[in-house]
Amino acid sequence: MTNLLEPGPKLRRRYRAEKIFKRMGLSAIIASLCFVFFLFYTIISDGYSAFTQTYIEIEVSFNKDLFTDANISKADFPGLVKKSLLKMFPEVTKRQDKKLLYSLISPSAAYTMQELVEETPKLIGTTQKIWVLADDDVDMLIKGKYQRDVPESNRRLKDLQLKWIDRLTAEGMLEKKFNTTFFTSGDSREPELAGILGAAKGSLLTLLITLSLSFPIGVAAAVYLEEFAPANRWTDIIEVNINNLAAVPSIIFGLLGLAIFINFWGLPRSTPIVGGLVLTLMTLPTIIIAGRASLKSVPPSIREAALGIGASKMQTVTHHVLPLALPGMLTGTIIGMAQALGETAPLLMIGMVAFIVDVPGSFTDPSAVLPVQIYLWADSPERAFTEKTSAAIMILLAFLIAMNSLAVFLRKKFEIKW
Amino acid sequence: MKLKTIAAAGALSLLLCGPALAARDYISIVGSSTVYPFATVVAEQFGKTTGYKTPKIESTGSGGGFKLFCGGVGINHPDITNASRAIKSSEMEKCAENGVNDIVEVKIGYDGIVLAHSKSVAPLKLTRQEIFLALAKDVPDPKNPGKIIPNPYKTWNEINSNLPPTKIEVLGPPPTSGTRDAFVELAMETGADSFDVIKAMKKTDKEGYKALSQTVREDGAYVEAGENDNLIVQKLQANPAAVGIFGFSFLDQNSDVIQGSFIEDMPPTFEAIADGSYPVSRPLYFYVKKAHVDVIPGMKGYLDEFTSEKAWGEDGYLADKGLIPMPAAERKQYHENVAALKTLEMK
Amino acid sequence: MFSYITPCVLLLSIAAYYLGTRRANSIAAASGGMKELHSLPTHYGVFTAICSAAPALIIFALWIFFEDKIISVLVTRSLPADLQQLSANELTLVLNEVKNIAYGGFGAGHSGEAVQAAAKTYNLLSEFASNLVAGLVIVACIVPGCIAYKKITKDLRARNIVETTGMAFLICCSGVAILTTLGIVLSVLFEAIRFFQSVPLTDFIFGLDWSPQTAMRVDQAGSSGAFGAVPVFAGTLLIAVIAMMVAIPIGLLSAIYLSEYASPTFRTWAKPILEILAGIPTVVYGFFAALTVAPLIRDLGSATGFTVSSESALAAGLVMGIMIIPFVSSLSDDVIHAVPQSMRDGSFGLGATHFETIRYVVIPAALPGIVGSILLAVSRAIGETMIVVMAAGLSANLSFNPLSAVTTVTVQIVTLLVGDQEFDSPKTLAAFALGLLLFVFTLLLNVIALRVVRKYREQYE
């Protein structure tokens, strides 16, 4: 006779199995959560430093005899920068040392001067203190990404340069400042000059095309399939088709874009218009499926009531069903757009992997998009690009999280429990 | 209904508002991944200091670049291709077939090909013969030098007992790459010539000689790592046993994490490559379609910028990026060629 | 130049809408009340608006499409004879310059007088043409609008016309999906057929060597040019299997825990965080796999005495598995939720523990759905590109060792096509053949998965 209150060995085993299983489930979730945090931690810890950039203050005298030509851009600005540097470090005389000295400052210093003088020609003849960008190696050192204690031959910066940098820092002429360049310029080969504006603008143009095509088409297709389509073979084919397209690898859409939009229609390579078209085809199934789901959630009683008081089928849909389903469709569209924003593979196929410095101005200008920019930077030899890559990833993720939160917010706000 | 029609019409009109396909007002450049870092720097400098648009540059490998370049004359074809080797006569013929007759060749400087690996191990000291033995598909049998057998070597010390006992794992470029062409010619072919059997074939069986001396093994010891030289650098850093093949400029940029192997007792340094004592170095080029020079905006300016002393000179910004400048006389000559748009003769 | 046309058309059609509505109203008032009209006044309005906008937009669209060609032909005619005789490609160059000068952008600086003149002609022509088209479009807008306006009577079946037009638009839009599939099949199939003309199908499907980087020129010794897809597919499967070995247990257990055990608050927090994983762009995973995970695994391997390739299938597979977790978990979550509560209650009533209920009742009931979701996840893993492009190898080794480097279908497509677009070498065409195989393979998986899921859903409805 077993005691019912005292669990026997068999029951204990069953309870133990229960406990183990529950723990396994919990640890599975914790493992994936840990991974999310680990990923964010590595990217943020790598990338946050890209939001500041090292600047060096130099004293420049814009001598009148430099600007003899009426055209200011003809003046020797790089020479001006070099002269100013030599004036700050008069002890540097050897050719080799001079070269080391010049390499402390980014080549962009000359552009900075040029812009300054072109903006206010009054500067000519005066002496000014100007903050210019430091070279990426200096920047990496200041941010602690280079070690000082390795032998000189293993370092990108030599002992002499370290001495100069220390002197500049001590005199307050070398500072980390907020990196505005990163947000206001296009791609560059110099890490300190590289920015994401070009890629962000390219993404924006591409998404504009995607949105303005895929939203109306997607909504219309969803409405037709859910509300009007007769149950026949054709409808079935379309349905199966859409579900399949949603799961077709994105790279296949790139092959389609390459063969049809570029080779057959002759649209220009590497442009937002082709990218937008490819991404439209890619996101359409997502939008259609989400749209159908939200149409389905509108209770039939609404339709029956509308039909009952004499509305036509089309009136029922446009006046009653569609307005109720629209928030859900918007949510689906935003999620589809987020997917399109993060997509890279099909864009590689249509030539969007190119070095493009200018910020694109129209749908037919060559341009990069954010994820492709990340892919390109991940490939660049300069070490300082690693932090730029991580920073670009942070920006991209911020956009994606904002879009998805907007979708969640919309869903919460307009969700109707029937 | 009306709302949607209007919305749809609005969306459509937004789309149609854009300008009709505009003319191309920027330079389009393709070609070698080795020249890519230099070309992009020049392009950027050019774009920032003049009013022209910055050229668009795609990195396609020298071979891929020539294919695109020789596709024809017209705005849909690139204006310039970069190459890490000289154009081959077969490619010239292909160009001519498609109506690309006038090509201007511009040599921009030199680049060494290095076999680099992680700094965490001692530098490899290789000869070209050893490189051939490590990488060729078929090699002479070590026991019976007259016979050719499939490459039996799995570790470096099987080739030469002074080398480390690590697995042969070389990450290198695919045949589209000019680096591969030059490497095969300069390192492997010379290495193959050190065997009498193979050298004898040079006269008797030219095809067989070429196949033997230039074919790279496909059993996994040589890993075709694509044109993304930087990813290779990162992989080398992670794997001290692996050796990568790429241009000197990449070694120069990453000299704090990877080091070049000695070849024939010469380390790959700026000076050794410049004076020619490092045996595996090759010139870099770009090729210009003459027909495009007058019609694509900015072509003249770009050519001037690239061939100016402040770019490719000894103290120029390209030297800072790792390009090894040509002697002054050669620079002057090429500068004049470019100014006069002297075209290549069909060989 | 054209920017005012579309707003014009829009304004005109809105005006047509109001006029149409007003006329319908006045007709109704004149003939004794609204009930006399066949349709609602707004239907008449929309009818008029459609009649005025549709022809105008069609003309406009046609013009946009053909503008460039027409003007180019006309400008070419105006060029001197020696320029006209150039080949078609060289002509595009001349025209390009003409356009550059005409747009006021930079000419190359020293263009001939003929070109300058042509640019002037171009400007004149395009101005004239755009004025002409603007006029045409506006006429095409007003005339049919007026006709439609006149046609409005109380018997006009405006609603039927409007609804038929609307329906036609809806049908066209849902046809886009079919067109896309057709486009994919055609674009991939044609190139693939050309590939199979030079490489026999059997060699491709059963060949054990993949070495597509053939010589670019006759005087070069490239790879042997073997196109056996087996190692490529083996590599793809290896990475997919590793990914699924990560994703299935973690995804499934998470789904079960979330739907069966977790408290509502835990669920509301954990689920969105899990779904973040699905929203992260794959290029980010690729960066992470290549720079963080692969070195980590390599170091772990060398510490424990294994030789791990720096592009091991394990690293790519692991990261891909993590990416797929939310696909498995959210789909399985749905199916587990769909299992009727009554079945669980029955099991509890018989004295089963929660675990036993899950194991013997819930999972068997949800199994078809779970299998379907896993198949969908597998197809996602096979088609994934960026992670493998950045973290997996390029050389096709026929190996099932997860520590060695393998390549995948998508990696090969990318390396064969990026930059190089010569459409006659078997090398480039091979990419399309791989694309076709990938498409067919994922299609099969999807069809099976969707069918399974659908069948299962019907079971409990």
Q: How confident is the model over A130-149, as pLDDT tens digits?
A: 899 998 888 988 888 888 87
Contacts of B333 (CB under 8 A, 6+ apart): none
- Is the pLDDT reported for residue B4 higher than 90? no
Residue to test with chain A: of C3, C176, C354, most A Cβ within 10 A: C176
Q: Does C111 or B293 have the greater pLDDT score?
A: B293
Radius of gyration of the CA atoms of chain C, in A = 32
In this predicted structure, what is the pLDDT of residue B230? 63
Residues B281 and B268: their CA atoms lie apart, in Å, by 9
CB within 8 Å: A362 and B21:
no
Residue C151 lies in a domain: yes
Q: What total of structural domains would you count in chain C?
A: 2
Task: Give the chains touching A; criterion: ≥3 Cβ pairs < 8 Å.
Answer: B, C
Q: Is B9 on the interface with C (CB under 8 A)?
A: yes
Is C216 found in the same domain as C151? no
Q: Best-predicted range by mean pLDDT among A38-52, B42-56, B285-299, B307-321?
A: A38-52
Q: Average pLDDT of C418-439?
A: 75
- Is the pLDDT reported for residue B1 higher than 50? no
Q: Which residue of B has its CA nearest to A353?
A: B58
Residues of A within 8 A of B36 (CB-CB) are: 355
With contact defined as beta carbons under 8 Å apart, do B247 and B232 qualify? Answer: no
Residue C72 lies in a domain: yes
In this predicted structure, what is the pLDDT of residue A44? 92
- Is the pLDDT reported for residue A418 higher than 70? no
The conformation of residue A48, written as its DSSP 8-state character, comes to G
Q: Which of B142, B132, B167, B138 is nearest to B151 (CA)?
A: B138
CATH superfamily assigned to domain B23-110+283-340: Periplasmic binding protein-like II (3.40.190.10)
Last-in-domain residue among C156, C187, C218: C156
In this predicted structure, what is the pLDDT of residue B8? 47
To the nearest whole Å, the CA of B131 is away from the closest chain A CA by 26
Q: Which two tokens stand for residue B154?
A: 């799995």
Residues B289 and B303: their CA atoms lie apart, in Å, by 12
In this predicted structure, what is the pLDDT of residue B24? 77
To the nearest whole Å, the CA of C6 is away from the closest chain B CA by 6
Q: Which two tokens stand for residue A274?
A: 């082709």
To the nearest whole Å, the CA of B198 is away from the closest chain A CA by 39
In this predicted structure, what is the pLDDT of residue C458? 61
How are the residues of chain C apportioned to helix, strand and coil, as percentages rounded to the nearest 5? 80, 0, 20
What does DSSP say about strands B103-118 and B281-289: parallel, antiparallel, or unpaired? antiparallel
Q: Which two tokens stand for residue B271?
A: 């000076």
Residues B249 and B323: their CA atoms lie apart, in Å, by 6
Task: Give the range among B224-233, B320-329, C196-205 with minimum mean pLDDT.
Answer: B224-233
Task: Give the range among A107-116, B14-23, C368-377 with minimum mean pLDDT.
Answer: B14-23
In this predicted structure, what is the pLDDT of residue B12? 44
Residue C196 lies in a domain: no
Residues B5 and B309: their CA atoms lie apart, in Å, by 62
In this predicted structure, what is the pLDDT of residue B227? 56
Q: Average pLDDT of C347-376?
A: 89
Q: What is the DSSP string of C279-294?
A: HS-HHHHHHHIIIIIH
Is C406 found in the same domain as C298? yes
Contacts of A415 (CB under 8 A, 6+ apart): A327
- Is the pLDDT reported for residue C3 higher than 80? no
Residues A147 and A157: their CA atoms lie apart, in Å, by 10
In this predicted structure, what is the pLDDT of residue C419? 53
Residue to test with chain C: of B52, B88, B218, most C Cβ within 10 A: B218
Is C14 found in the same domain as C96? yes
Q: What angle do CA A218, A224, A229 make, to 5 degrees?
A: 145
ipTM of the complex model? 0.87
Burial class (CB in 10 A: 0-12, 13-18, 19+), A16: exposed
In this predicted structure, what is the pLDDT of residue C242? 94
- pTM summary value: 0.84
Is C323 found in the same domain as C417? yes
The conformation of residue A294, written as its DSSP 8-state character, comes to H
CB within 8 Å: B23 and C311:
no
Q: Average pLDDT of A100-105?
A: 86
If contacts are CB pairs under 8 Å, which of residues 374-393 in chain A contact chain B?
378-383
Q: Which of B300, B57, C101, C30 is nearest to A368 (CA)?
A: B57
Q: Give CATH 3.40.190.10 domain extents, chain B.
A: 23-110+283-340, 112-282
Tokens 């904002």 belong to residue:
A402
Residues B9 and B27: their CA atoms lie apart, in Å, by 36
Q: Which of C370, C453, C384 is nearest to C237 (CA)?
A: C384
Residue C179 lies in a domain: no
Residue C189 lies in a domain: no
Q: Is C6 on the interface with A (CB under 8 A)?
A: no
Confidence of residue B17 (pLDDT cuts 50, 70, 90): very low
Q: What's chain B's length in residues?
A: 347
Q: Which residues pair with A361 in a beta bridge?
A: none
Range of the domain at C403: 210-460
Confidence of residue B9 (pLDDT cuts 50, 70, 90): very low
Q: Positive or negative CA dihedral for B127, B129, B133, B135?
A: positive
Q: Which two tokens stand for residue A224?
A: 């037709």
- Backbone dihedral region for residue A378 (phi beyond 0: left; psi -120 to 50: alpha; all else: beta): alpha
Q: Which two tokens stand for residue B123?
A: 């530098």
To the nearest whole Å, the CA of B182 is away from the closest chain A CA by 22
Give Dmax over CA atoms of chain A in angstroms. 113
Q: Which two tokens stand for residue C196?
A: 């199979």
- Is the pLDDT reported for residue C105 higher than 60? no
Q: Which of C446, C430, C438 is nearest to C409 (CA)?
A: C438
If contacts are CB pairs under 8 Å, which of residues 304-333 in chain C contact chain A?
322, 325
The conformation of residue C79, written as its DSSP 8-state character, comes to S
Residue to test with chain A: of C173, C330, C390, most A Cβ within 10 A: C173
Q: Which residue of C has its CA nearest to A222?
A: C174
Residues C323 and C280: their CA atoms lie apart, in Å, by 8
Q: Which of A169, A391, A415 is nearest to A298 (CA)?
A: A415
Q: Is B179 on the interface with C (CB under 8 A)?
A: no
CB within 8 Å: B19 and A364:
yes
Element (H, E) at B108: strand B103-118
If contacts are CB pairs under 8 Å, which of residues 343-382 in chain C contact chain A?
353-356, 358, 376, 379-380, 382
CB-nearest partner of C405 from B23, B25, B223 = B223
Q: Is B25 on the interface with C (CB under 8 A)?
A: yes
Residues C293 and C377: their CA atoms lie apart, in Å, by 22
CB within 8 Å: B54 and A114:
no
CA C355 to chain centre: 42
- Exposure letters A61-70 (e unless 16+ CB within 10 A, then b): ebeeebbeee
Residues A59 and A66: their CA atoms lie apart, in Å, by 16
Q: Average pLDDT of C92-112?
A: 66
Query: pLDDT of B135-192, one tens digit each?
Result: 888 888 877 777 888 888 888 888 888 888 888 888 888 776 777 878 888 888 888 8
Q: Is B165 on the interface with C (CB under 8 A)?
A: no
Last-in-domain residue among C93, C127, C156: C156
In this predicted structure, what is the pLDDT of residue C100? 74
Task: Give the range among A386-390, A399-403, B254-258 with minimum mean pLDDT.
Answer: B254-258
Q: Does A157 or C86 have the greater pLDDT score?
A: A157
Q: What angle do CA B88, B93, B98 make, to 5 degrees?
A: 130
Q: Which two tokens stand for residue A236?
A: 């079935």
Q: What is the DSSP string of A331-366?
A: HHHHHHHHHHHH--HHHHHTT--SB--SPP-STTS-
Is C224 found in the same domain as C92? no
CB-nearest partner of C281 from A15, A217, A342 = A342
Residue to test with chain B: of C63, C97, C413, C414, most B Cβ within 10 A: C97
- Is the pLDDT reported for residue C348 higher than 80? yes
If contacts are CB pairs under 8 Å, which of residues 135-154 in chain A contact chain B?
146, 150, 154
Confidence of residue B101 (pLDDT cuts 50, 70, 90): confident
CB within 8 Å: B169 and C218:
no
Q: Which of C175, C343, C313 is nearest to C244 (CA)?
A: C313
Confidence of residue B111 (pLDDT cuts 50, 70, 90): confident
Size of interface A-B (CB pairs under 8 A): 103
C-alpha separations of C133 from B246, B316, C103 in Å? 57, 54, 20
Q: Which two tokens stand for residue A11?
A: 């029951």
Question: What is the average pLDDT value for chain A, to the nearest integer?
Answer: 87
% of chain A exceeding 90 in pLDDT: 31
- Is the pLDDT reported for residue B18 higher than 60? no
Residue C171 lies in a domain: no
Q: Which residues pair with A174 in a beta bridge?
A: A56
Residue C176 lies in a domain: no
Query: pLDDT of C162-184, one tens digit each?
Result: 999 999 999 998 888 888 888 88
Radius of gyration of the CA atoms of chain B, in A = 23
Residue C140 lies in a domain: yes
Q: Which of C403, C381, C244, C413 is nearest to C311 (CA)?
A: C403
Confidence of residue C224 (pLDDT cuts 50, 70, 90): low
CB within 8 Å: C177 and A242:
yes
Element (H, E) at B114: strand B103-118
Q: What is the DSSP string of B236-289?
A: HHH-TT-EEEEEHHHHHHTTTTEEEPEETTB---HHHHHTT-SSSEEEEEEEEE
Is C241 found in the same domain as C136? no
Q: Which residues pair with B103 in a beta bridge?
A: B289
In this predicted structure, what is the pLDDT of residue C320? 93
Domains of chain A: 50-179 (no CATH), 197-414 (1.10.3720.10)
C-alpha separations of A151 from A147, A157, B254, B261, B268 in Å? 10, 11, 15, 19, 19
CB-nearest partner of C254 from A25, A216, A224 = A25
- Backbone dihedral region for residue C351 (phi beyond 0: left; psi -120 to 50: alpha; all else: beta): left
**Check whether domain B112-282 has CATH 3.40.50.720, yes or no:** no
Residues of A within 8 A of C256 (CB-CB) are: 25
Task: Give the range among A263-272, B280-289, C252-261 with minimum mean pLDDT.
Answer: A263-272
Confidence of residue C356 (pLDDT cuts 50, 70, 90): very high
Contacts of C129 (CB under 8 A, 6+ apart): C67, C70, C71
Is C358 found in the same domain as C287? yes
CB-nearest partner of C355 from A21, A252, A259 = A21
Which 3 state secondary structure label does DSSP give A298? coil
CATH (domain of C299): 1.10.3720.10
Q: Say how many CA atoms lie within 13 Å of A332 toward its Cβ.
A: 24
Contacts of A367 (CB under 8 A, 6+ apart): A198, A199, A201, A202, A205, A206, A270, A271, A272, A352, A356, A360
Q: Average pLDDT of B210-225?
A: 78
Alpha helices in chain B (DSSP H): 2-17, 36-49, 62-69, 89-97, 128-135, 156-159, 178-183, 189-193, 196-204, 206-214, 229-238, 248-253, 270-274, 290-293, 299-306, 309-312, 317-320, 328-340
Both ends of chain A: CA-CA distance in Å? 54
